[in-house]
Amino acid sequence: AAAASGGGAVGDQCGEQTREGGWRLPVPRAAVLRAEAAPTRAPFPLSSNFIADVADQVGPACVSISAVGTSNGYGGGFFGALSGSAGSGVIVDGERGVVVTNAHVVAGAGFGGAPRNVTVQLQDGRTFKGIVVATDQPTDLAVVQLEPDSATAGVGASADAEGKGDGGLGLPSARFGSSAALRVGEFVVALGCPLLLRWSCSAGIVSALERTSAELGLQGSRTAYIQTDAAINQGNSGGPLVNLQGEVVGINALKAAHADGVSFAVPSDTAKAVVSQLLSKGHVSRPYVGIRMFDLTVNALHQLRARDERFPRSVSAGVIVPGVAPGSPADRAGVLPGDVIVEFDGRLCTSAEQVIERLGYRVGEEVSMVVVRAGDVRKEITLVTEEAGATPGEPARNGWRMYRKD
């Protein structure tokens, strides 16, 4: 076919000879067409002051929070000793005056049955009295409600800045974005009041996603964290972690004790789910399944196989179930002690953290799992979760209930 179509075709297939006696290989026409048709990704529109633009947009919704309470201990005198805490927060509903912060920021507020009051200061200097609506210890989140009639104007506040007069506070607010859409390497901005210094901004990138509480050695915490190298210091806690679209993608929570550039934030998707429940019913409902779990590590696998010759030989990873609570959803569905969970919610499962994450806040819903049990018997199980016990205004006892219900 090449000979019949003449030298041009031969040149197309084999290249052409250069004046120096070498050969220049051609680019196939199909490749040229593909290259011409390939869509080009538009560069992200950044100004030379893109961090400042984000700070200008979200900064007014960032607040400083101080909490003072009393503790009834020895040496405190008749009134008890003063205790307190301080940090940052972000207004997520400017009309109703709803502020999201960390639970540990408001931990010093109130005493006994007294209202848990805090002082909230805006960037423009206005100060409000706030009431702690509810807290959730497993996610270290809290909701504060500003009292409309408590505003005092600060330096720089406009004459009509104390409210709109129509029942709404008319405060600046920030909107939640999707933490699930975050990518490692994405720019983020941390806003807050570190070390009691007012209105600070730091910037960095998303260093990692889905840092588990087990990785960080946090007892009682049941949430994955966003890791960032944006500076988050004492006092930054509760402030917003923001993407370049001005959306809150995290609530700043903690930093590594002996390292710089290693800080963590609660993902916004978690914050949205928790805040919604705290506002609607004063506590967070979490699913109760009724099992104990631990990861099937290599060492555990070898020990179990050596101890019991009937232990599944086809399993190399998963989550072992050493105990099932009698009468629990797992028990009623047929989960047995010794089962190995290899799939949960339709996906492979290699850690207990994955089970907890996929359960999320699914109370009263069906969840499916695949277990492998003695003799390499593979079984698909569907169960309906129940709500773990909770006291109004407080988190579910012991956080995520997997084994005990009361």
Q: Would you call 38 helix, strand, or coil by DSSP?
A: coil
Taking only the tens place, the pLDDT of each residue in 56-89 is 999 999 999 988 754 444 444 444 444 457 889 9
- Report the top-level CATH class of 53-150: mainly beta
Joined together, the tokens standing for residue 129 give 């009295």
Query: Residues 9-28: what's their mean pLDDT?
Result: 48
Query: Residues 363-369: what's their mean pLDDT?
Result: 93
201: closest CA among 35, 92, 62? 62
Higher pLDDT, 110 or 106: 106
- Give φ, ψ of 241 to 5 degrees: -105, 125
Q: How far is residue 194's CA from residue 239's CA, in Å, rounded to a whole number?
A: 10
Q: 330 exposed, middle or buried (CB, 10 Å; 0-12, 13-18, 19+)?
A: buried
Taking a C-beta distance cutoff of 8 angstroms, is the pair 374, 274 a contact? Answer: no
What pLDDT score was predicted for residue 11? Answer: 42
Taking only the tens place, the pLDDT of each residue in 174-226 is 999 999 999 999 999 999 887 767 788 999 999 999 887 777 767 666 788 99
- Give the active site residue among 237, 263, 268, 328: 237
Q: How far is residue 27's CA from residue 21's CA, in Å, rounded to a whole number?
A: 19
Which of the four pLDDT bands, split at 50, 70 and 90, describes residue 354?
Answer: confident
Taking a C-beta distance cutoff of 8 angstroms, is the pair 24, 32 a contact? Answer: no
Give the start-to-end residue ranges of the domains of the chain.
7-37, 53-150, 179-281, 287-387
Q: Would you call 376 helix, strand, or coil by DSSP?
A: coil
Q: 283 catalytic, yes or no?
A: no
Rounded to the nearest 5 percent, the helix, strand and coil shares of the chain are 20, 35, 45
Taking a C-beta distance cutoff of 8 angstroms, is the pair 292, 402 a contact? Answer: yes
Query: Residues 113-133: what's their mean pLDDT?
Result: 84
- Report the top-level CATH class of 179-281: mainly beta
Which of the four pLDDT bands, split at 50, 70 and 90, describes residue 136?
Answer: very high
Q: Across-strand partners of 176?
A: 248
Q: 173 catalytic, yes or no?
A: no
- Give the active site residue among 104, 202, 269, 339: 104
Which of the four pLDDT bands, split at 50, 70 and 90, describes residue 159?
Answer: very low
DSSP code, position 395: P
Q: Where are the beta strands (DSSP E) in 243-311?
A: 247-255, 263-267, 287-288, 291-295
Taking a C-beta distance cutoff of 8 angstroms, is the pair 163, 151 a contact? Answer: yes
Q: Is there a shared CATH topology between the 53-150 domain and the 179-281 domain?
A: yes
Amino acid symbol at 259: A
Query: Residues 101-108: what's their mean pLDDT?
Result: 88
What pLDDT score was predicted for residue 110? Answer: 54
- Give the active site residue among 64, 85, 93, 140: 140
What's the CATH architecture for 287-387? Roll (2.30)
Q: How far is residue 169's CA from residue 123's CA, in Å, rounded to a whole number?
A: 15
Q: 47 catalytic, yes or no?
A: no
What pLDDT score was predicted for residue 44? Answer: 53
What pLDDT score was predicted for residue 45? Answer: 60
Ranking 133-137, 221-225, 393-397 by mean pLDDT, the lowest is 393-397
Query: Residues 242-262: what's their mean pLDDT?
Result: 89
